[in-house]
Amino acid sequence: MIIDIDENSGFCWGVVRTVEIAEKTLEENHNGNVYILGEIIHNPNEVQRLEQLGLKTINHEHLRDLKGENVKVLIRAHGEPPSTYQKAKELGIELVDATCPLVTALQNRVRKFYTEGYQIVILGKPHHPEIIGLRGVCNDECVVIQSEEDVLEKVDFSRKTIFLSQTTMSREKFNRIRELLESKVKELHSFENYKEQLVVKDTLCRAVVGREDNLRKFARAHDVVIFVAGRNSSNGKNLFGICCEANPNSYFIEEIAEIRPEWFSGVQKVGITGATSTPRWYMEEVKKAIEHIASN
């Protein structure tokens, strides 16, 4: 049996940056008072590794408990709304901002168009941490959509509108929504000025979108594909869907214990891949586990 790990899988540069900031902060603070607001990434194995190094995961309610302590609190790659920074300032808590630069740029765009009076329409999941941060920079005065039905029900086509996206959504869905928005706006406005009424900014992460075509090729080149990701990973869900379209013999696992020997019966080529939040070291562990199954 040949077992390959997808060379295009694993951490994107934004996640690498965030993890490196966390590791550096832990090295510089030996007193152990290093916290992070929410899981650093949607991968329980990497979260556990960093917790073993001393990183403590907390939620917003815990911030008040840290008042007066000599602590550092990390902002993860997804970013935070302005209210979090204000609360930390009031409590005298030092923040270490590890927000992905792409997310920071997206927040700045939303803020700019909001102040200019645009209707903000964002493709994304309403309660995803990245979207919560975006809602915060526009006083929660935005329209978060997930489908064509949402567009028809929630968007005011008579208003000047900007359409953007959570960075980890699929390009296919983004393009479908854009086409629908354009068609509805054109119905109300002349061809000459509809572009003034609708501004579209492609804010999808190239590291995510760029993997889609590579993933399809990788999935088709193997008899069975093991997709490794945290179950809460938005990016993981999107990429796994693409993987299944290319190869129906694809299986999603979060933990090695979920692997089933019967998946590999009569199989010659196995591919291992994952989300942008899946650590390479864990995919190597998955490979060892499959090798053990194959040898027995």
Residues with active-site annotation: 130
The residue assigned the tokens 């291992």 is: 272
| Three-class secondary structure assignment of 231-253 | CCCHHHHHHHHHHHHHCCCEEEE
Rounded Cα gap, residues 83 and 65, in angstroms: 17
Q: Report the residue count for the chain.
A: 296
How far, CA to CA in Å, does 124 sit from each of 29, 135, 204, 247? 36, 11, 11, 26
Rounded Cα gap, residues 187 and 184, in angstroms: 5
Phi, psi values for residue 259, rounded to 5°:
-65, 135
Residues 6+ away with beta carbon under 8 Å from 197: 159, 160, 161, 185, 188, 189
Q: Using alpha carbons, select from 247, 245, 241 the residue that is nearest to residue 224.
A: 247
